[in-house]
Amino acid sequence: MRKTKRLPHKIIISVCLAICMGVSMLVTGCGSVATVEEDVVVLREPQTGDAAAMNTEKVARRNLYRALVYSAVVYPYVETYSYESGQKFGCYGAVLGAAVGPGTPIVHMETQAISRKIEAMEERIRSLTETYEKYKSEAEEELAGLQNDLEGLQNILEDLEEGEPEQYMIGTTGQSTVNPAYVSWQKEWKKWEGQFNDKDLSISKKTEALRQKTELYELDYQYYSGQLRKLEDEKSAGTLTSRLNGVVVALGMYTPGDSIRANVPVAAVGDMERKYVKCTKISEISRLRALEIYAVAGGKRYEVTYEECDDDKYSLFKLSDEQGDTEIGDAAALVLVMDIREQVPTVSADSIYKDGLQQYVYVLEDGKIVTKMIQTGMTDGVYTEILSGVEEGEQVMTSRELTAGVNTAVLEKGTIENTYAGIGTLIYPVRTAVHNPVENGTVYFQEYQVTENQHVEKGDVIATVRVESDGVELASKETSLKRAKERLEDLITQDEEKNKEAIEQRRESIEELEEEIALMRADYATTEIRATISGRIFALEEYIVGDVVKYDSPLAIIADENTTFLSLGNESGYLNYGDAVQITYKDTEGKERTTEGTVATFGVAMGGVLASKDVLVALPEGRLEDVHTGELNSRGSYSLNRIDAYAVLEVMKDVVIVPKAAVTVSEGYTYVNVLMEDGTVMPVSFLAGGMNRDSYWVIDGLTEGMKICWG
């Protein structure tokens, strides 16, 4: 594709040329048309000899344009998401193209380590609570018994009080003596009072112990619960969630365990209801000096409002589309009108001469050449506005030669299209790591049983290993188990009811030891590491025979084949979000099959780390059914088969189309020769929105039904 060239200072560059070069690029890199802020008329000295041979051209009214036109695309409101601190990637909460709402998870950090901490903390809280609840239940039961006994003792004391005899008795002699019945009663009272006080003291002690135990439990529970909330908050902070209703339009491609740097965008969500026009960066000076800024999409003109954004490569304009005629991904042109003169008298720029500060033209009057001083206004480098000096219809001498040409056409409205052809690669964004599950012993790598890009089923062998056991540790565990069982028998023999709690604890300890020993024996017997899911081998770690593989170290990455995209190169910028792409591939039987996908990303228009020269195409049902994506080659590895993509892309519809062969690009401006009703030819400037291989499309200056000629 041709690039826009910047001409020397003080020569105006054509808006049309820039668009012709860039319309097919859309937002991916057209840039703007260069312009100058002063009108410069390059005047020539009169010539003699052959160089002086001239024709005449009438002073005629024309539209003169000076504008900047940027290729653009209709773009949604987009929010990007990133972590405030560095993380390890875990998995996607939503895939590319998925509809999301506020709170929908998009990306999860790696949570194994923190999940283990959370599980340990939950277990600590659970054990703490179980121990306390058991103590509380037993204490309350004991207190209830003590309280019942106390009430019984209270009743006895009350009965004794009712039957309390007189302490003294009067003898026959009138002398007072201690009543023997009272002495006996008092002895009985003190006995029961002592038991009552003992019970009451026991209740007080038990109640205080329960209070202290409850207070300690509550303090511990609050502390551990606080720690758990912190861990849960940390885990929650590791999940990026959408803040709006929309569609996931970009995702960073990560494998589980990959590092994600702080403040680096990892995902983007687009609100498809809020529409913008996005194009390459427009300078603030150009925006402020523009007389008018508008967009053209689908052959219609739309008002736009500049929107501030952080992107230093692109400019964003809010699109006024109350009727909803545009769709996200539509091609557009953004027009900055820097200056315009509508239907003003003009002469060919090459007919103007100068004498010092004076400007003049040669006019043919009654067969004679007359010099007339003129004043000029705006120029587009090809034709120049006349403010005074000559009138419309006068014959001005010029070297320009106008002929009707042999080819003619009547301008019509139609659709400008481009074609795209490319070769794609299947992309599997959802991936799972297969880790070494052997926790006990030393694991030595032997051999991979799969190759990259190979399909595997859940349970298929990924690699063979050799595990060297730790006999000392196993023997120690088995000895501990034997002794625990012997101690259990002793407790049961001594007094099963009395040792009930100790027996239960011993049984739990034995169960844990048996589980540990069983796990150790299973680990030591491991010879194969198997796939945990079905999918395609995305990557294999680089191990050779004899390498030690640590526990939980990854050996392979398996991609989910049900979440598949086709990656296509898009340096020309032809493909845009929502474009339909025809895909051709071979199935597992070698037969050629076709399907259709839809572009699901914005390519370089995203900006930053989410930008890409490639676009991803969403496939039907997320995959190519029965696709034969690879074959085992002579080197023992799988190679990808060819997947072809083709698209006919609508650049702009319902616009006036001009054959490319009929267009003259002069000093950067586009002109076409219009055949007038009287048979004369008039060069007419027009504002071009862009072109394809065969035609230009018109923003302004030409209308449907005009007859043009060339050749």
Identity of the amino acid at 147: Q
| Furthest CA-CA distance within the chain | 182
Does residue 21 sit within a domain? Answer: no
Residue pair 574/548 in contact by the 8 Å Cβ criterion:
no
- CA distances (Å), origin 408, targets 403, 661, 670, 681, 705: 12, 11, 18, 12, 12
Does residue 189 sit within a domain? Answer: yes
Residue with tokens 């008298």: 345
Residue with tokens 């009080």: 161
Give the end of a domain, one of 237, 263, 283.
237
> Which residue in 360, 345, 369 sits closest to 53, CA to CA?
369
Give the end of a domain, one of 526, 557, 588.
557
CA distance 55 to 398: 5
> Which residue in 593, 602, 703, 611 sits closest to 658, CA to CA?
703
Residues 6+ apart with CB under 8 A from 158: none
Expressed as residue numbers, the domain containing 465 is 431-557
Give the end of a domain, one of 557, 583, 608.
557
Does residue 118 sit within a domain? Answer: yes
> Which residue in 539, 555, 530 sits closest to 451, CA to CA?
539
CA distance 448 to 468: 19
CATH number at residue 438: 2.40.50.100
* Complete DSSP assignment for 282-294: --HHHHHH-SEEE
The count of domains in the chain is: 2
Does residue 639 sit within a domain? Answer: no
Does residue 526 sit within a domain? Answer: yes
* Angle, in degrees to the nearest 10, between helices 180-237 and 112-162: 160
Phi and psi torsions of 104, nearest 5°: -70, 125
pLDDT at 7: 27
Q: Are strands 535-540 and 528-530 parallel, antiparallel or unpaired?
A: unpaired
Identity of the amino acid at 92: Y
pLDDT tens-digit series, residues 447-496: 999 998 888 999 999 999 999 988 888 889 889 999 989 888 888 888 88
* CA torsion angle 450 454 460 464 (round to 10): 10
Mean pLDDT by 10 residues, the chain (711 residues): 30 31 33 38 46 74 89 94 90 93 93 85 94 92 93 91 87 82 91 93 94 95 94 86 95 90 94 94 94 94 92 91 92 93 92 92 92 93 92 90 85 93 90 93 95 91 94 88 89 84 87 91 94 92 95 93 89 90 84 90 86 90 63 51 88 93 86 88 89 92 93 85
Does residue 538 sit within a domain? Answer: yes
Does residue 231 sit within a domain? Answer: yes
Percent of the chain with pLDDT over 70: 90
Residue pair 552/616 in contact by the 8 Å Cβ criterion:
no
Does residue 486 sit within a domain? Answer: yes
CA distance 23 to 696: 10
CA distance 291 to 35: 14
Given phi > 0 = left and psi -120 to 50 = alpha, else beta, which region is 310?
alpha
CATH number at residue 173: 1.10.287
